[in-house]
A = this chain, B = another copy of it.
């Protein structure tokens, strides 16, 4: 048996039940904010000295100087060479596919002339220096290094600084190998709010960056929120989520494992299956009970499914799309006969996996699109990580002497209405 809640949209209190299940708090807690604000202030005030002290304490390191925080490039190259050939080939295949997809995301400049002969346009430039946060220790994921670094490289970022904590000095060599492959420029073994603060403000050792991306725990998320404005950040990462919409034609065993592939990330992961077929949901529940036993991380999966999982019966696939849109999931599988027919009905999802042969795990590693995706309903308003996060636009305006005159009249009139006489005069100087 496996503990998983069953919901039905025909239940009177379905909406309330669903919202209770989804009740995440993407905002930082006041307690976490307070601790993080202190850490950020210490790094701003004391730089390397504070960074060294906090790293020694939180990561149980024993270091003589901040210089030791940097991992020499020779060590990454050695880590790459030390990996089995088959793993290197898999990393290379993934990197190639991630790069090929990213190339499609590059922003293009534009320019056009208005009827007056003035030129209007938009320039695109790469960011200069970005920081990539990689969660550390044994659970450090090489796939995250590829997903964060490759779009930045494709965008043309000058320098990519990676930070990864090394608790107890432990560093995953596959993470170093992935950094070598992805074209990271420098690596520092720092983590937590102190790493985010060091990247935002710079220290004698850590160069200040223009933007910080990558997932982390609640302290990392709060630190990113705190330094936002001083530097850019990507979205605040929450626990991983999957919604699977399936008709009765999918293999229940596949559906079970697809749900588990999110659930195994952590006890707060969210895995939800939606189907119009109640018998099919029963069969998936049975498959879950059977297949969970095969998993090394079965305990995490059981807790996650019990706490945050659900099998939801809907009236039809249209209603399945509506429920999914309300959830606005990070990952959405459409494991149905005609997924393309449902696609126009999907308004909010970070990544959409079409058809029964497209498990979410492909997206985590090697399909090509980024695995850094909006969570906690942020797919309502934000984007997957992509090349466009490492580029920025500048507006362009170029008037001719003749083309300026009509604009001087319009701007002058509107500035008058706003009581801004220097604006009005500056415009009318050109008339």
Which A residues form the contact surface with B (CB < 8 A)? Answer: 26-27, 30, 33, 37, 86-87, 90-91, 93-94, 97, 100-101, 104-105, 110, 112, 114, 118-120, 122-123, 125, 127-128, 138-139, 141-143, 174, 210-211, 225-232, 235-236, 251, 253-254, 257-258, 260-261, 263-265, 291, 294-297, 301, 339, 343, 346-355, 357-370, 373, 376, 378-384, 386, 392-401, 403-404, 407-411, 413-415, 417-427, 429-430
Contact = CB atoms under 8 A, between A and B. Distances in A.
Contact of A396 (B352, B395, B400, B417): B352
> Which residue, of A263, A404, A424, has the highest number of chain B Cβ atoms within 10 A?
A404
Nearest to A129: B380
B351 A394 contact: yes
Contact of A381 (B86, B225, B355, B392): B392
A112 B120 contact: no
B264 A378 contact: no
Given A26-B230, A128-B347, A414-B366, A260 B422 contact: yes
A430 B253 CA distance: 11
A400 B363 contact: no
Given A232-B382, A352-B394, A382-B392, A401 B369 contact: no
A366 B412 CA distance: 10
A57 B86 CA distance: 68
Contact of A112 (B104, B349, B410): B104
Nearest to A253: B429
Across the A-B interface, give the 10 residue pairs with the lowest CB-CB distance, nearest first. Answer: A232-B381, A26-B229, A369-B395, A354-B398, A260-B422, A351-B395, A90-B413, A357-B404, A365-B411, A261-B426
A37 B420 CA distance: 34
Given A350-B395, A359-B429, A414 B120 contact: no
A426 B261 CA distance: 7
Contacts of A419: 138-139, 296
Contacts of A97: 114
A420 B261 contact: yes
Copies of this protein chain in the complex: 2
A254 B254 CA distance: 70
Task: Give the interface centre of A27, A376, A423 by most chain B CB atoms within 10 Å.
Answer: A423
B174 A354 contact: no
B118 A367 contact: yes
B90 A410 contact: yes
Given A359-B429, A427-B362, A429-B359, A422 B261 contact: yes
10 contacts: A91-B414, A257-B422, A257-B429, A297-B422, A339-B398, A353-B398, A361-B424, A363-B397, A380-B392, A384-B395
A178 B236 CA distance: 34
Contacts of A265: 420
A138 B253 CA distance: 65
A195 B143 CA distance: 41
A397 B430 contact: no
Contacts of A93: 410
Contact of A358 (B33, B357, B399, B425): B399
B417 A297 contact: no
B427 A361 contact: yes
